[in-house]
């Protein structure tokens, strides 16, 4: 603990966002640089608690008090080592994770929590800038081969761990570039793809092989591999089967966002000049919001069936749980209207078969369900509707059906305590087995599944690689 009074003398501070009119003219990340000495002062706010609950908030088990103390002391290289000890990709989590560790911060009981996420991203960005992130090659090869199907955070984490353990790993990705949703699902203004590309270059230098543009749809394509890790995510989107759903101009968020990531303002499905309605109030909806702003939407309305969250933690969601509170992301700061406690009843079309309006009704939670509020029905302009209501599970047709893996009651790939599916030698990690979740859970599962695969291949009594969480672990609630 570098400064025993740091949490008393230093206020929480984050980097400023670039002016709205400036950042809407490009697709770069929204935050300005943060001075080194300011980061060191923020790290000094860490109290080095006797029981650091931030460890419980983060499934990776990040050694947060340790690297906070090292940053305060100016020992940045050592801080990067401690950060990498538990997290393969801190430059991803430091930009994309909603930071449940901060919700679990002990200082947050009666003050603003430590800026854990910001310190994390400053550590890793500095490590890259200083040349401190280098390939970690295995001492020897085991002779085993592993196929990883899917190149999102879970698949990449499993691949890096297994490669460093000496196995020959091949990562398959059906898209034309490696990265899964990190590549085409996350907008550039949240994470510039240069961060992904340099990490992939490190992995290639370590010995991981990448095969992009290849859809693995049959078990025969995996013949010859010693083990398989399924990391294809939970890609089946939740739909909205209401009248008018067949109209043109209605897209799933994961149809709209990848095109925006590929083409920017020139996307074939563009919000330019349109009245956009986003159905769903989560992070994916916010990504659609920021993308629509940059494409030049005439208006953007974001709908949420739940009531507007409170400004502060509710008594029903006590510390150290991750609370549902009113948050203003960079995309919300840029404009648009947020409408709560409403449900979509119908898409209204014109004679050309194009959606022209959305008919909604206010709802109230009554008797365990959302009931329409009489007299509240109204139409709002809509010529581009984006469905951002989450995902229901893994895509079963194709590989999963051909392999014959079992599924759990929620439609996810079933795993045993060692991440192995019902098919021997086939493991599952990330959202494919867990269901829709956060990036930190995906990386934690990738690391843990890699430990299980390594143990399986080498016939060990216990894992030799770090096994962070069991498949049954769940967030603090």
pTM: 0.97
Tell me the CA distances in angstroms from 272 to 106, 185, 295, one per residue in order: 45, 20, 5
Q: What is the pLDDT of residue 471?
A: 97
Q: Using one digit for the tens of pLDDT, what is the confidence trace for 374-408?
A: 999 999 999 999 999 999 999 999 999 999 999 99
Contact 229, 158 (CB under 8 A): yes
Query: What's the pLDDT score for residue 237?
Result: 96
Is residue 441's pLDDT more than 90?
Answer: yes
User: Residue 314, Cβ neighbours under 10 Å: how many?
Assistant: 11
Calculate mean pLDDT across residues 263-283.
95
Cα–Cα distances in angstroms (integers) from residue 256 to residues 58, 185, 259, 265, 270, in the given order = 30, 9, 6, 12, 8
Asked whether 200 and 171 are in contact (CB, 8 A), the reply is no
Identify whether residues 249 and 311 lie together within a single domain. Answer: yes
User: What's the pLDDT band for 1 if we cut at 50, 70, 90?
Assistant: low
- Domain range spanning residue 99? 6-129
260 and 382 part of one domain: yes
* Rounded mean pLDDT, 266-282: 96
Low-confidence winner among 182-191, 327-336, 426-435, 468-477 (lowest mean pLDDT): 468-477
Dump pLDDT digits (tens) for 75-92: 999 999 999 999 999 999
Q: What per-residue confidence (pLDDT) applies to 370?
A: 95
Q: In terms of domains, do 432 and 453 share one?
A: yes
The answer to whether residues 357 and 422 belong to one domain is no
Q: What ranges make up the beta strands (E) of 368-456?
A: 369-372, 378-381, 384-387, 391-393, 426-428
pLDDT tens-digit readout, 118-141: 999 999 999 999 999 999 999 999
| Domain end among 67, 99, 129 | 129
Mean pLDDT for 39-53 is: 93
- 406 inside domain: yes
Domain match, 80 and 180 both: no
The residue out of 354, 389, 424 marking a domain boundary is: 389
Mean pLDDT of the chain: 96
As a whole number, mean pLDDT of residues 143-157 equals: 98
Mean pLDDT (whole number) for 38-50 = 93
Whether 17 maps to a domain, the answer reads yes
Question: Tokens for 428?
Answer: 């599952």
Same domain for 249 and 328?
yes
Work out whether strand 168-173 and strand 384-387 pair parallel, antiparallel, or are unpaired.
unpaired
CATH of the domain at 433: 3.50.50.60
- For residue 469, being part of any structural domain is answered with no
Give domain status of residue 333, yes or no: yes
The answer to whether residue 372 sits within a structural domain is yes
pLDDT, residue 48, reads 79
Residue that finishes a domain, picked among 373, 389, 405: 389
pLDDT tier at 56, thresholds 50, 70, 90: confident
Residue length, the chain?
477
Residue 77 lies inside a defined structural domain of this protein = yes
| Domain tally, the chain | 3
Q: Which of 221, 204, 202 is nearest to 131 (CA)?
A: 202
Confidence band for 4, pLDDT divided at 50, 70 and 90: confident
As given in the structure block, the two tokens for residue 346 are 């119908």
């Amino acid at each position: 603990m570098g400064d025993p009074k740091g949490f008393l003398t230093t206020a929480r501070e984050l980097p400023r966002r670039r002016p709205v009119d400036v950042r809407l003219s490009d697709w770069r990340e929204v935050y300005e640089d943060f001075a080194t000495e300011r980061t060191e002062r923020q790290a000094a706010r860490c109290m080095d608690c006797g029981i650091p609950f931030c460890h419980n908030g983060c499934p990776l088990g990040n050694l947060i008090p340790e690297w906070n103390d090292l940053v305060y002391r100016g020992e940045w290289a050592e801080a990067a080592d401690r950060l990498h000890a538990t997290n393969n990709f801190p430059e991803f989590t430091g930009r994309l994770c909603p930071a449940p560790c901060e919700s679990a911060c002990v200082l947050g009981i009666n003050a603003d929590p430590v800026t854990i996420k910001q310190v994390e991203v400053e550590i890793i960005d500095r490590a890259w800038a200083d040349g401190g992130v280098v390939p970690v090659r295995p001492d020897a090869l085991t002779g085993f081969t592993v196929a990883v199907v899917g190149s999102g955070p879970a698949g990449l984490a499993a691949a890096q761990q297994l490669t460093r353990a000496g196995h020959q790993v091949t990562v398959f990705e059906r898209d034309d570039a490696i990265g899964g949703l990190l590549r085409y699902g996350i907008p550039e203004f949240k994470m510039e793809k240069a961060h992904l590309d340099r990490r992939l270059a490190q992995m290639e230098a370590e010995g991981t092989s990448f095969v992009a543009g290849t859809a693995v749809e049959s078990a025969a394509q995996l013949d010859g591999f010693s083990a398989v890790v399924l990391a294809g995510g939970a890609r089946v989107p939740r739909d909205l089967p209401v009248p008018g759903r067949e109209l043109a101009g209605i897209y799933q968020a994961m149809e709209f966002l990848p095109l925006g990531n590929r083409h920017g303002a020139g996307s074939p499905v563009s919000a330019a000049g349109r009245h956009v309605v986003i159905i769903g109030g989560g992070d994916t909806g916010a990504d659609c919001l920021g993308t629509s702003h940059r494409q030049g939407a005439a208006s953007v309305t974001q709908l949420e069936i739940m009531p507007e969250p409170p400004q502060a933690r509710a008594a029903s969601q006590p510390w150290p749980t991750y609370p549902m509170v009113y948050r203003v992301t960079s995309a919300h700061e840029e404009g648009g209207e947020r409408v709560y406690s409403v449900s979509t009843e119908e898409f209204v079309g014109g004679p050309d078969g194009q959606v022209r309006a959305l008919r909604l009704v206010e709802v109230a939670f009554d008797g365990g369900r959302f009931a329409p509020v009489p007299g509240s029905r109204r139409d709002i302009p809509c010529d581009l509707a984006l469905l951002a209501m989450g995902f229901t599970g893994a895509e079963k047709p194709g590989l999963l059906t051909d392999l014959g893996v079992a599924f759990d009651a929620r439609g996810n790939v079933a795993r045993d305590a060692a991440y192995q599916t019902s098919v021997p030698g086939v493991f599952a990690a990330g959202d494919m087995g867990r269901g829709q979740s956060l990036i930190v859970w995906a990386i934690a599962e990738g690391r843990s599944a890699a430990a299980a695969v390594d143990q399986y291949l080498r016939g060990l009594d216990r894992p030799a690689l770090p096994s962070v969480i069991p498949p049954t672990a769940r967030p603090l609630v």
